[in-house]
Amino acid sequence: MRRVSVPEADREIGVRHPVLTHGFVALVDYMGNDGAIVQAARVSYGQGTRSVRDDRGLIRYLMRHRHTTPFEMVEFKFLVRLPIFVARQWIRHRTSSTNEYSARYSVVPDEYEVPPAAEVRHQSTRNRQGRGDPLPDAVVERFRSDLDAVSKQAYAAYTRALDDGVARETARLLLPVAYYTQWYWKLNLYNLLHFLSLRLDPHAQEEIRLYAAEIARIVRLVTPVAYEAFEEFELGGLSLSRREQRATRFLLEGRTPPEACAKAGLPLTREDGKPMTSGEGVEFLEKLERVRHLD
């Protein structure tokens, strides 16, 4: 049986696409394409499927109804160079095979990440783990200068430790999470799309979103129909809880959004009467705004 080849993807193999200051994403290999998804689905569904819907329609049906196994028939392998603080977020996705550069065996290169000034911001008042409003220029530059100085001092200490004979596995403790690591990362399309659904989200940290965007571009080359369905039903879709569905029904009956939320049990004010800045009611109104401004 001949290996599936996608010419556009073949041209990407080994090409290192820059991300951040010293990072990159490179496609190492892939197995399968949209056809592999269809083939797996038709084995499962039996004869006669083709006459009911074409390949694109079948893939969209699978994505829409969360029939995930056929998407597991496609696999990707990447080489990724990334800062350690991004890697610690990334590795939380426990559905891949990952082999990381070992600082026990090798000396860590003197490469670290200093975020652009625009990305050094206040702690978000709504997202407890994210960034919010801009900071004064003086604060931003002091942070970036401190990060640069701390990183250089740490690497100098790391180098001294190595020169003094300290084992590499111990000397690496001196390096901050701004330094870079790299790994091979292999997983199937289903788990990769789940990764992208979380890491392309506006609430994800900006640095990992940049990596996700580059990976998404490559995935689109290999499985364009599946990625189109993913954009339509996952990235572009909205889920409604039971209470949100009730609120939507009240809206269709002519209620205002605050009235609909109140009747559906979606609070918009705190016990002290002040407006809520987060919570189910606020998120429902955000979904309405998203629908209102849909292209």
Positive or negative, the CA dihedral 206, 207, 213, 215 is negative
Distance separating the N- and C-terminal Cα atoms of the chain: 44
Q: How far from 17 is each of 24, 215, 272, CA to CA, in Å?
A: 5, 10, 52
Residues in CB range of 171: below 8 A, 6 or more apart: 158, 161, 162
Q: Facing residues of 29 across strands? A: 77
Q: Indicate which residues carry an active-site annotation.
A: 199
156: left (phi over 0), alpha (psi -120 to 50) or beta: alpha
Report whether 158 contacts 174 (CB < 8 A). yes
CA dihedral 135, 139, 140, 144 (to 10 degrees): -150
